[in-house]
Structure 1
């Protein structure tokens, strides 16, 4: 699955370098476990149509392949590492612990059921969830929890947000941040990536350092991480990414990325509509960014730079554009407003992730075709727009950037 790219040589030093390899997850059974009763708990506003969703996701993957990127799937990498019986056993134990299956008898029953499955079947349960009706329970004493939660249909919750691969982990430079998710619904996702990192040769730990670990209690999510250049990383301080997590990550990046000079922190309003920095602001070319109209006046900007003895100096900044020009060493920055700058159109298309563009080369982005006004204004500003359908994919509130985890980009 990962044989075609250099093993252990992850490399992302920009947002816009030609995409060479990317990690995706194709939506599956986990989306069929969504019910109206649990939508809010699982971070959805609606129930998507899985068949159409998979068609749209295949189109997305094919666009990336045609543009020269190798597409890997997290489910394939997991199945590969589960061929190792000890890795498989360790994973099941850790997953049941994370799912708080604390009753020893029940833990053993579920463990035996999952351990008897093929690697592919285990992956399906790890992502799609495990219903109680799938387990044949022999005579055992029921705990209070069993009685209280008798109506809840699952032992293991599904991971319907996993197709937004950007959030649980992010490659930065030659290393990877395996993130600590803000919501309970997504907290198991980084564990899947950590198992791949620990056990798959794609992630050679001697070559690919770990910048952040998902067991750290301070939340940090990949949608808030933008690698602007070898010297500058931007991180959103948002509803889902904490100031403490940013400082810990910055300290590790400064220690391990010698060329890194600055981490630009952009504090955005903690609203679901502005979930991550990349829902309101993305890089599309050397000096061009797409931005949600009006957000520029609602952010706070800070520069983090190396201090003495491993410390970090925090410098409040007055303006986002001025900070970017100075940090990137360019004379001007072009902000391309989504929705053509019209407040109503921008609000409508921002709900459909018009600013969540995925750059696949300098000045070339993938977007949803439904965001017509935003796509048109990008083209008027010299950006090549590659459109994909997203009528069902967008129901999870994420766009092409959200759905992709770049593993390697060409240097620019």
Structure 2
């Protein structure tokens, strides 16, 4: 059996990727809960599914194996013990333990076949779905309560964030926002119980049970020796230090973690919304993160004495990339061509968020035509995918994909 995880670069030939097809969780979005669930608008489900299928087909056309989150999770429920453990952890993290209906909800979920169970956990449970029971508590008589026992998980189609493969191991992430906190629980069960992964002793670079948050959109594998991680609104400096210590302790190949501070705003949510690798020496970038002369707050973390880290500071991203990747030249390709209006517009629609399927071949949203033409002018092959509804979730092709296996460069 081939070892199931291998990601030693952002651009190595992509062989296996994890996706989540948008489902009925999006139908449970309402205007009153958009902010809570981290959406700006409500996608039209049939259209977003069509676009996502187009994305998956584009990957398959490049020879990529596409596997789906819900399928893997259902296949991980091998027995009743695993089923009950998953349900109990899920209900605990959904704060259902604070509800008088806990046992009724638990019984209802336990009664479902495993594929329906997975769908119900992901799409959410409205209060009118439970079997009828008499009202016994004061809060059950009060009107205008929220309609959910289990809130939907509409961000699941952004599979990049709950976990990230680095080398031969995985970072099982603690999500920063409450609305997304349960997502990495699914990855925990897949890695622990799915027959594709469970026979292997897969290293864990980060544990979702820690105190500090980190998300996969901030984790970029630049090479077999260097990982870049964004210090962002979603990933903390403490989490980056913790990951670096475990990575250095358990994987002798990795020598440096390049921590890059970015503005902590919604438009610049993760590092991969402003910076992605498209070829060995080419990177997309949103110009707004660059100060005069390309200056930024960049920190290099390396092994120090004993278990301590050695931390040094850099200021220029081009010079730093040359240093850590041993390159003579680095090309930054600006989102929207650097034009103030085009860059802001296309950045909002993830113009810098590319998914490389091999060196110099990337998947992007079709709507970012200025950035796409600029990529082509730099010799990058661009595969455009439909994006009118997908883009409403504020994430691009890299956000929607979790590479499990890439060929080494």
Paired residue for 1:3? none
Superposed, 1:6-155 pairs within 5 Å as 6=1, 8-103=3-98, 106-139=101-134, 141-142=136-137, 144=139, 146=140, 151-155=145-149
Hey, what's the Cα distance between the residues in 1 that align with 2:146 and 2:310?
Answer: 49
- Cα 1:285–1:234 change in 2 (3 A) is same
Q: Corresponding residue for 2:345?
A: 348
Do 1:170 and 1:177's aligned partners in 2 also have CA atoms closer than 8 Å? yes
Runs of 4+ in 1 over 6 A off after TM superposition: none
Match of 1:278 among 272, 281, 304: 272
- Structure 1 residue 196 and structure 2 residue 186: aligned? no
* Conserved 8 A contact 2:162-2:184: yes
Aligned equivalents of 2:100 and 2:79: distance in 1? 25
1:50–1:313 distance in 2 versus 1, CA, 3 Å = same
1:82: Cα distance to partner? 2.4
Q: Is the 8 A contact 2:365 2:397 kept in 1?
A: yes
> Is contact 1:237-1:266 (8 Å) kept?
yes
**Is 2:379 aligned against 1:379?**
no
Alpha carbons 2:176, 2:213 under 8 Å: kept: yes
For 1:231-270, list aligned pairs within 5 A: 231-270=225-264
8 Å contact from structure 1 (residues 8, 201) kept in 2? no
Go from structure 1 to structure 2 and tell me whether the alpha carbon gap of 1:325 and 1:365 turns closer, same or farther (over 3 Å shift): same
Of 318, 332, 354, which residue of structure 1 is paired with 2:315?
A: 318
Residue 211 of structure 1 and its aligned partner are, at CA, apart by 1.0
Cα displacement (A) at 1:83: 4.3
Partner residue in 2 for 1:295: 289
**Superposition RMSD in Å:** 1.4
In 2, the alpha carbon distance for the partners of 1:250 and 1:263 equals: 7
In 1, Cα distance between equivalents of 2:237 and 2:405: 27
Tell me, yes or no, if the aligned pair for 1:219 and 1:242 is still in contact at 8 Å. Answer: yes
Q: Does the CA-based 8 Å contact 1:282-1:357 persist in structure 2?
A: yes
Where structure 2 has 5 or more consecutive residues not aligned to the other structure, the ranges are none
Q: Using the alignment, how far apart are the partners of 1:343 and 1:84 within structure 2? A: 56
**Counterpart for residue 411 of structure 1:** 408
What's the TM-score, normalizing by structure 1?
0.96
The structural deviation recorded for 1:124 is 0.9
- Corresponding residue number in structure 1 for 2:210: 216
Distance, in Å, in 1 between the alignment partners of 2:272 and 2:157 is: 16
* Secondary structure, aligned partner of 1:102: helix
Asked if 1:391 is matched to 2:385, the reply is: no
Give the Å deviation of 1:402. 0.1
**2:163·2:184 contact (CA, 8 Å) conserved in 1?**
yes
The separation in 2 between residues aligned to 1:68 and 1:149, in whole angstroms, is 53
Tell me, which stretches of 5 or more residues in structure 1 are unaligned? 1-5
Contact 2:5 2:167 in 1 (8 A): yes
SS in 1 for 2:170: strand
How high is the TM-score relative to the length of structure 2?
A: 0.96
Q: Give how far 1:70 is off.
A: 0.5
Count of residue correspondences: 406
SS in 1 for 2:253: coil
Change (3 A) 1:138 1:386: same
Q: Distance in 1 between matches of 2:20 and 2:259?
A: 29
Distance in 2, matches of 1:94 and 1:338, equals 41
CA distance in 2: counterparts of 1:118 and 1:181, whole angstroms: 28
